[in-house]
Structure 1
Amino acid sequence: MNKGYVLNGRYKIVDRLGEGGMADVYLAQDLILDREVAVKLLRLDFRDNPKAKKRFQHEALAATELDNPHIVGIYDVDEVEGMQYLVMEYVNGEDLKQYIKDHFPIPYAQVVDIMEQICSAVGEAHRHNIIHRDLKPQNILVDKNGYIKITDFGISRLESEDTMTQTKSIIGSIHYLSPERIKGQMATKQSDIYSLGIILYEVLTGKVPFTGDTAVSIAIKHSQEPMPSVRDFDPRIPQALENVVLKATTKDPKDRYQTVGDLAADLNTSLDKSRANEPKFEVPQVENDLNEQTRVMPFSALPENEMLNQSPAAKDGQATQPTAEKAPKRRRFRHRRRWLIAGIIGFLVLVFAVIFLVSANSRTTVPVITGTLRSDATEKLTSADLKVGKVTYRHSVKVDRNRVISSDPKENTRVKKNTRVALVVSSGIKKVRLDNYVGQDYSEVKRKLEAQGFKVRRRNAPSGTFRSGKILQQDFAAGDRVNPKTHTLTFVVSTGIQQVILKNLTGMTKAQVVSYANKERLNPTFDYVYSNREAKGKVVSQSPAAQTSIQQGGNVAVWLSRGPKAKSQDEIKSFNVKVTIHIFQNATDESSSESSLNGSVQAQTPSDQSDSETASSTTGSGENVVLIYLKDHDHDFSTVYKQMVITKDTTVMLPFKLTKNETGRYKVVRDGKTILRDNNITYDSH
């Protein structure tokens, strides 16, 4: 579907978000409600498939029954011009699979936060007796603020339905499938809990526990092999957190958590100091019954081929010679010639008919494979009596990785059987490898990165170690491969130590203040107050005051006007939240590096969770540059509220302004990693 197309007179297509096995997903603008939405459109080759249509409709029905902030909402479901579509809530972010790749290793406190949000959504579905049956990171979305949304209820079922028995085939993703479902038993709530345990394993280790060359080999491992230890991968993972994985993924469903709520409650306390010496969870040993051996259900049902047998029969008739009076020789000759010509014509017709039938049976049609996975395209070509030819990989911004871009011969072309079809397969978006730029000249680095397509932002900080213009810190790790079109790179740049005489900012707009601060290499922080004196959006006051001398890279507090306060406006409560930021010191050798890495646990949260920082990503000067993000009535979470350079453990007071219906949040970032966060600050909690 092309950009700009208006679906059903309401949803204007803006861009393609992704392609699935059955449907394509587009970003669209709701022209009536003026909001961004995601439109899921059943693919052309499935529109006449009753099973696909039923699953598509079922997804809408299942999701609309659920009311949870962590489940993607369904706004509309309809059909127009033979096209079935769903209109869903648009989540601006990425799926959990990609999030793990981009952010691994993930601090343990954040792992718990991610899983608790997922459990909230799955628990809501279970309360309605709906089993998801396809829980996997690819069906879990993470927005730009780390907020979780679960989607794709296309194969979910009520707990009473036994779809496995009806179809005799496995539905779901094999890497996250429970042993009982692999054996052909009915999916239960414990089946979803098993999938949650596998997801937790992957968030902690960055990989799935069982891999193999075929789906059958992976299924057998799920059924028979013990769950690998996450502590073997990372010994710093608390035993209590590993126990959650082990209990959620026992082979026997009766030994797992009985509800998702039980799993979430155990997960919530897994990082407490009181559970530091908890013994390892022992998986109950179940004796194998000879009559209960593992039987892996088939992954597809192939209809029997019908054999068409032809047995032509010909009966020989008796040749009778007419009895007639003798005719002249000429008449007999003409009579014989007519029969001879008729025989030749009949023979030629028969020959052409045979040639036509043989030719028709030796040709086939290239199936529609554009947008499908390479493995699926191979199966379709094989089913059409064709072979896979040369496979070429090419970068693409429109087609996802490992999906077919085009074929040669093209789709729907009639060709001879066993023809080799060349495929062009997407290798995904071309990504650029980033280096460590600390200590380099900012202007030169900025020029190189912008030439590669990146957007580059600068923040200033004073430094007695680095000369003015040198990079102190970067918000990404060296070695990362990222898409230049979607990533903005932020550098903290040294201003040296120079003094600036502040000008009077009163009456300026926020944009004017930012422009002035960039010119003078200052870091402004903004707050908002009601004012009858200054128009909305204009500076009311500042601190330090005008004509004060301040170091370059220093902070300037600026208060902007909200305008006059309306009588009917909700009351805004102001309060402070106390946050302690721990210093992270560089190591000088391998042993001290390990010590610093373990010591960074102290800087994670008040409950002492791992920071996963590395010595190589810091400035090397004993100075930590930290960025604080804050969201309340006046502040946006996407922009930096405050930047600080600390040389020791530092306590700061974060000011919040909230109404009764608002929820505040904050996070503290060092070297591109979140070391402190709180997503649930409310009016009534302070």
Structure 2
Amino acid sequence: MNKGYVLNGRYEIIGRLGEGGMADVYLAEDLILKRKVAVKLLRLDFRDNPKAKKRFQHEAMAATQLDNPHIVGIYDVDEVEGMQYLVMEYVDGEDLKEYIKDSFPIPYAEVVNIMEQICSAVSEAHRHNIIHRDLKPQNILVDKNGYIKITDFGISRAGSEDTMTQTRSIIGSIHYLSPEQIKGQMATARSDIYSLGIILYEILTGKVPFNGDTAVSIAIKHSQTPMPFVRDFDPRIPQALENVVLKATAKNPDDRYQSVNEMAADLNTSLDKSRANEPRFTVEPPADTANEETRVMPFGPLNETNASADANPAKREPNNDHPDAEKNDKKPKKKHRRRWLIIGGIIGLLVIIIAFLMIMTATGKTTVPVVSGTLETEAESKIKDAGLTVGDVKYQSSTKIDRHRVISSSPKEETKVKKGTKVNLVVSSGPRMVLVGNYVGQKFDVVKQKLEDEGFTVHKRNAPSGSFQSGRILQQDFQADKRFNPNTKTLTFVVSTGVKRITLKDLTGMTKSQVIAYANKVEINPTFDYTYSSDQPKGRVVRQSPNANESIQQGGNVAVWISRGTKKDSSDELKSFNTRITIPYLQETDTTDASSSSALDESGASDESSADNNSGSNENVVLIYLKDHDHSLSNVYKQMVITKDTQVVLPFKLTNNEVGKYKVVRDGKTIMRDNNVTYDSH
């Protein structure tokens, strides 16, 4: 699709954003709402493929059910000239795969923030019983402010569907696929949790845990090979954060988190000081996995023997029948000599160390050990082993030294001091953490200045609102009453722009029903009048006020004049007049007073004086029907809610030969009617 092409008369193509297996994605301009959108267009070679079309429609249906700021919104779904397309929210940024490449290594606090946003979106899908089944970095978008959006629900399914069992094929991307899906079992919410664990592993290490030359080899590893430890890649990663990876990617779904919310809660505290000494997460191995069948489809049967051989290489036994066996028997003698030389060297080194310690003991002095960068407990052990005592321990925030590790000591390291000297330590408490609150409803400029003074980076997104004044905060993308590191945390706010303004389109030539449909879509209120016209046929719009391309507030009024057709002769001259009616309000009697006689006078007549022109506590729903030259009695002319006797002016337009009518229906009952309204009678 070329630049400048206008799809369905509304979306002007700006350029190509990317290509997928079944669809191409374009950047486009919505000519009506004046905003950039992403248009996903089914490729030509798939337009006659019913499965592709079904998946395309399924993506739209699944995504439109979900309302979460971290899920890409679907604006429009349509087909034109045989082309099926989706119009989606445009995210100005890159996918998470590219973000990891560009930003690695990513600070741990930012890793947790990214995963919490992803978990928020997946939790919303699971709340609607939708399993994504294809969670991977390529389906997660990161905008320029670090805001996360997940997309591509094309192969998602409702929790009640057993698509895997029905199709007997692998659905999803093999690098992020759960063991149960590989075995041909049904995907569940915990299958998505497994994929989230793989994504977290990749964010922390910059690579996927399992790779191979073929999809089959990768599938075997997911099913049989233990998850690699992220701390083997980077020992600075907190054990609690590694535990999130291990628990999310447990082979048995029952050993994983029970829900995405549980995983998010664990992530939320994974960097806390209280979890610094947490043991590594482990699960009990299954009682018998030897006979468990691993079915990988549609790749065909797996060669599990070869996989086992790769994992456990065979041991080579010596061949005593070899002609060089005698030579081989002589080699151990040389090894024995070398071993004695090594032992002798070690003994000599020990003698030197003992002599050094004896000299230091004789002089009563020792050396302050090197403790910077070590854990606090390890530093205390080193100090005591050196014959010193631990003095004051002070905690200081640091962005360079991890929590619980020593920043410095006093006296300084490697200085000679008397035995028993106190060594004071300065230990890192981690980055400075600042408590944030709930700022919804407050002025953005004031909140922004306050948070920037604390060191946070603050971003803003605008959105219309009829509830909040312009400049007030509508939403925030972080949890209130939590502490964040200002050096790594970006706080994003959605800020009200006030009531949304609508740029009116040209209504000339439309029918009344078309005007009503347009008004409902953009949320404006049309009022109709009728006029003779030689330019427009009967029933078509002649003019409007405000005019086309003028701007009004959402919910504002637009006056529309509809053609009566061409005026033929003077007998068609219309006469306009008004009829005033008073609609009586009916106060429903409270059931508690139903048996009371105070509402009746002695003669048994009801006392209506208290109800006249008096507001009642109940509402009457009133429908008014009117027939004149321009209106039909079969259509509602006006609908209103009254709480007291209400006067209404009914405008009539009649020729000399026409008779007008009206009726008033209150709460489903006709209470007023006139079938003989003429100009002469008024």
- Alignment TM-score, normalising by the size of structure 2: 0.48
Structure with the greater alpha carbon radius of gyration: 2
- Alignment TM-score, normalising by the size of structure 1: 0.48
